[in-house]
Each structure stands twice: as C-alpha cells, then as structure tokens.
A and B are shown apart, each in its own frame.
Chain A
C-alpha cells in the first residue's frame, strides 16, 4: 500500500515537472517547482515507511523548510529584482534604509 502511494506521488511529480517544462509563464514554473518540492517531502516520508526506516522524516522536515524558503526567495527576487529590499519599499529602484543594494555601492565608487 505504501508502494501504491509512492507510485501516485511519483506520477504527480512527473506531471508537475511536465508543467514546469511547458509552463507558458514564469509563475507556472514556480508553481510547479513548489508543488514538486511538497511532493518530495511526501515521498521521502512514504519511502521511509516503505523501506522500514522512518528515520528519513528528519530529512523530509528539513526539505519542507528549505522548499518554502527557496520559493519565497525566488518570488521576492522576481518581484523586486533585489533580495535586499525591505518590506515597506516599492518595487522601484529606491535605496532601502537598512540595506544597500549593489547599485548604490557602485554609485559611491566602492
């Protein structure tokens, strides 16, 4: 029964990869990659039970954390073009108060 669930998760991952390849926009690809990461967490858990070694769940937990942070960082980069921008800033090229983007350091000559 674990094998059936694993096969279903693998089929889902394959279809998500297909959407990531043929996705017409960037956001379709990001959606597919996010879905692929979530299904990776599930298949690590199921494979741990399938092989009789549920110690893999630590890896699944870490992978869930990394997947979320990665997707959020990717979306922030594609929305603002800059990972060092603050939450209250616009998407313009304004220099944030706390962090200095690389363009401002180039302007000051450093």
Chain B
C-alpha cells in the first residue's frame, strides 16, 4: 500500500517537473527580453529541478542514492540564484535595458513629438 502511494507520488512529481520544464523552455523561447527569459529559466531551475529530483528521491528510498540527490538539489538551489544574479548584474552593467511596459509609448511619444 505504501509502495503504491510512494510510486504514484513519484510519478506525479516527475510529470509535474516535466510540465514545468516544458513551460520554462517555451518561456525562454517566447519571452521578449533577457530579464523575462531569466525568469523563465528560473522556473526550470527551481520547480523543474525540485520536482524531478524529488520524484527520483521517492523512487530511491532511504539509500545513498537519495543522499546524492539531496546534495545535487541543494547545490542547484544555491547556485542557480547566484548564476542568475551574476547574469542579470553583468547584463545590466553592460547597458542592456529591460523592455518596460511604459517604454514603447514613451519612446514613440518622444519620437513623434515633432509629428504631433
């Protein structure tokens, strides 16, 4: 009984992780800006990695395999925000501006001041 519950939980976790991975991949391809793409990559780094490694942990049981999976997950959870922050900081300090919601009308109004 408990084995079936654990198996179903691990399958659901793996499928949920796959769903979040695909959502993040579509977001990385479809979103318009580096910073929004960084958000989509963050989805795959947090929800996708946590759910898939959690599903594998449920399959592994209380063994050395689960300990290694915990180490991988902890390391990913520490390094992924650091890498995202370094990427955003480098992109910002190199002069890459995010696309804001107010930007295109402001730029167009500045450009069309002569026409108006």
Contacts and interface: CB of A to CB of B under 8 A. Distances in A.
Nearest to A80: B90
A12 B44 contact: yes
Interface string A21-60: 0000101101110110011011001100100001001101
A110 B94 CA distance: 33
Given A5-B52, A35-B44, A75-B86, A12 B96 contact: no
A38 B44 CA distance: 9
Interface residues of B, number: 47
Given A31-B41, A31-B87, A35-B41, A61 B68 contact: yes
Contact of B65 (A30, A34, A57, A79): A57
Interface string A54-94: 10011011001100100110011011000000000001000
Interface string B41-64: 100110011001101100110000
A30 to B, nearest CB: 6
Contacts of A79: 89-90, 93-94
Contacts of A58: 68
Given A31-B37, A34-B83, A78-B94, 8 more contacts: A5-B55, A7-B18, A27-B34, A27-B94, A49-B60, A60-B68, A61-B68, A78-B90
Interface of B: 10-11, 14-15, 17-19, 21-22, 24-26, 28-29, 34, 37-38, 41, 44-45, 48-49, 52-53, 55-56, 59-60, 65, 68-69, 71-72, 75-76, 79-80, 82-83, 86-87, 89-91, 93-94, 96
17 contacts: A5-B52, A11-B25, A31-B34, A34-B41, A34-B83, A35-B41, A35-B45, A38-B45, A39-B21, A57-B69, A58-B68, A61-B68, A65-B75, A68-B79, A71-B86, A75-B90, A78-B94
The 10 closest A-B pairs by CB, nearest first: A8-B18, A15-B25, A68-B79, A12-B25, A57-B68, A27-B91, A54-B65, A12-B21, A5-B14, A79-B90
